[in-house]
A and B are shown apart, each in its own frame.
Chain A
Amino acid sequence: MGNVLTIILQRLALGALTLLIVSIVIFVAVNLLPGDFAQNILGQGATPEAVASIRKDLGLDQPPVTRYFDWLGGVLRGDLGSSFAQANFASFTGTDSGAKTVADQIAPRFANTMFLAMVTAIIAVPLSITLGVLAALYRNSVFDRAANITTLSSISSPEFFLAYILILFLAVLNPILPSLSNIYDGMAFSERLQKSLLPALTLTLVVTAHMMRMTRAAIINLLASPYIEMARLKGLSPMRVIVKHALPNALAPIINVIALNLAYLITGVVVVEVVFVYPGIGQLFVDSVKIRDIPVVQACCLIFAAAYILLNLTADIMSILSNPRLRHPK
């Protein structure tokens, strides 16, 4: 067991290192911007004193390396800096306008996005495994082919196409679900669920295909093994052979692909949140990109990358845990 623990710790350290390098990449990328915020906000006719004052206020007068470590230290303490768009320039006006920090802006939206991802996972994972098992059971039948074509089409359509199709059929032509997900604090759980169901369904369509195809392939891979032959010869029903004998051994690649798809959800969530005006982190990210609010863009990017790396790491660790050959490397 100690061996497994070291492997996990190794992977975690590697993940942390990757995240550190990613943070450097993000920081460098952002610092490629010409000019700086102080000049941009004050315009052409700004006096040098005013520019210097705002620079000092935002910490832009420090050399890049110092700023990077300031930012990184802040991130580790949970302080993501203050949003440029909502900066209050306390030293300038003398009063505190009660502007929000980036962390304040992101926290509730992050919770919303997590809620959406969770609802999606709860729908998509059982659905795709059931469909995958059924497709493996009735392989090369009409059902298998129909499922194959449908999932291939849904995975290769852009998210906004699926979103508009769902809006058209489930919100406009048959008003079952609301097409706008205006979520706010203190909303009843059922109402919240109802409002985020349409974006969750869109995301489900996006990720189900891959998971289902992997489940099917993983099970079919095993069907040629001798122990499956044995189970068949014992006279077990095909359903029982697959669910009790093949599925447990196919779980490793399936869990792996589920984790990878949850990581994919993080990218998909941006477009879907914009279509449904869902107040999540993806929407905030796109809005900040448009107004070039650098601290928010930086923070969102880092959070997305961290979640992505963490989920990939989980997939990695899961596959090591479930495969004895990887657990004891030569």
Chain B
Amino acid sequence: MILWIIAALVGMGALAWGFRFAGQAATGNAPKFRDMPYGVAYGYVLGAVVLLWLIWAYMQGRSSDPAIANKFFFLRIAIEGFIIFAIAAWLFRLLGCAVGTAWSRKMFRSMPLTASFGILTILIYAILAIFAPAFAPYGQEQIIPGVAANIVPGGDVALGGNPEFPLGTDQIGRDIMSRLIYGAQNTVGIAFATTLLAFLLGGTFGFLAATLGGWLDQILSRLVDVLMAIPSLIFALLLMTIASVWAPQLGIPLTVFMVVIIAVIDSTRVFRLARAVGQNIVVMDYIEAAKLRGEGLGYLVFKEILPNATAPLLAEFGLRFCFVFLTIAALSFLGVGIQPPLADWGTMVRDLGGFVNYAQFAPLAATAPLLAAGAIALLTVAVNFVVDWMLHKSSGLKE
């Protein structure tokens, strides 16, 4: 296996040399080929080989022999998904260029494909999350009797599927597709609420520390230093242990505790940023003028500092949302996050994860856990793409 890889790499090295030489000969030593470093030539060959391999694997995935097709099934789906997403993002950008105000049209024209993919994905998630009950064929807690643990998706009766449940049912007979759709509402909604709370806490205290300074600033900053010295997932797990004992005694759902705990832990990062941004604004002349006018603290924070700190805070909101979302997913995956019967993607991955091991014989069996995990990944990737583009645009980094 390793020998084959080494042989392939060496073979491609020879091919790269030949490619450059052929290019030089064919174009009469044009500058493009004459000045081409060996690394670039190798890169072209490597890219071509990878592309060819992907095409070959895709053809294998469409093979009529199920043994071979099964092996390349997921690669085939991934390639098809990639192409469909790329086309959708491209169409979405075209649409954005054509309709809307002059400002939004200009924005779409300068947008890279990754960012338009991100915005499209976030929109789809938002619609799914808000109108989940309208899309889901069954309730998230509804246990349908007599159909338990039929995880064959596709509804093909010949393969053992049930056409009434397009993605199958889970171990106690709940419709997986409904739970996936409700998962958008629960997981994304809870993560969004947590991030909002974290920003409310961190932003308020950060701006207060920056405006007032003095002992308040010192106390808050040292407190945040201590909280940040503990890895956040570890601290969250520790506090969740304690909350899981308190929750039944106080009669408050554990999920509420989780929202508060994660919001407090994450607000430390927001505090740092808000304080740093706020301190840069507080020394401006217009703040001095407002102070001399006799404006109160509330006016200073909300009317003077906040509008000038929106851009960095907005980018941070996207990144924070990703972190919170991933933390909640990780906690749920470990079994201490969002609690059943609420449908949630992290919990679904944990419950159905074992089916990945049957992929060799029935590739469809592995789709349910991968869909849930992929739903998490897709949203965070989309948000990151958008934030990356926003940061790139605002920093003016062109190089």
Contacts and interface: CB of A to CB of B under 8 A. Distances in A.
B239 A143 contact: no
B230 A158 contact: no
Contact of A160 (B232, B233, B249, B330): B330
Interface stretch (B20-28, B131-139, B240-248, B296-304): B240-248
Contact of A158 (B74, B239, B241, B373): B373
Contacts of A164: 349, 353, 356, 369-370, 373
A173 B357 contact: no
Nearest to A289: B241
User: Which of B37, B237, B353 has the most chain A CB atoms closer than 10 A to its own CB?
Assistant: B237
B10 to A, nearest CB: 18
Interface stretch (A21-29, A56-64, A76-84): A21-29
Contacts of A167: 356-357
A322 interface: no
B229 A172 contact: no
Contact of B380 (A35, A134, A156, A179): A156
Contacts of A312: 229
Given A33-B245, A152-B381, A152-B388, A270 B37 contact: no
A193 interface: no
A258 interface: no
Interface size class of A (residues with CB under 8 A): 35 or more
Interface of A: 18-19, 21-22, 25-26, 29-30, 32-35, 134, 137-140, 142-143, 149, 152-153, 155-161, 164-165, 167-169, 172-174, 176, 179, 220, 237-239, 263, 266-267, 270-271, 274-275, 285-286, 289-290, 292, 297, 300-301, 304-305, 308-309, 312
User: Which of B238, B239, B385, B399 has the most chain A CB atoms closer than 10 A to its own CB?
Assistant: B238
B43 interface: yes
Contact of A179 (B1, B237, B334, B357): B357
B334 A29 contact: no
Contact of B385 (A29, A152, A308): A152
B242 A29 contact: yes
Given A152-B388, A156-B322, A156-B384, A301 B370 contact: no
Chain A to chain B: the 5 pairs with minimum beta-carbon distance, closest first: A161-B373, A157-B377, A156-B380, A156-B384, A267-B233
A143 to B, nearest CB: 6
Contacts of B388: 152
B226 A21 contact: yes
A172 B359 contact: yes
B334 A158 contact: no
B231 A308 contact: yes
User: Which of A30, A160, A270, A275 has the most chain B CB atoms closer than 10 A to its own CB?
Assistant: A160
Given A159-B330, A292-B245, A308-B230, A239 B336 contact: no
Interface residues of B, number: 59
Interface string B56-84: 00000000000000110010000000000
Contacts of B37: 237-239
Main secondary structure of the interface of B (DSSP, over half): helix
Contacts of B322: 156
19 contacts: A21-B226, A26-B230, A33-B242, A35-B245, A158-B330, A164-B370, A168-B370, A173-B70, A263-B231, A270-B233, A270-B234, A271-B334, A286-B237, A286-B335, A289-B241, A292-B241, A300-B234, A301-B235, A308-B231
B114 interface: yes
B316 to A, nearest CB: 15
Nearest to A304: B234
B246 A34 contact: yes
Contacts of B234: 266-267, 270, 285, 300-301, 304-305
B8 to A, nearest CB: 16
B232 to A, nearest CB: 7
A287 B318 CA distance: 32
B1 A176 contact: yes
A272 B42 CA distance: 35
Given A239-B37, A301-B230, A157 B333 contact: no
A285 B336 CA distance: 13
Contacts of A134: 39
B341 to A, nearest CB: 19
Contacts of A308: 229-231
A171 B366 CA distance: 13
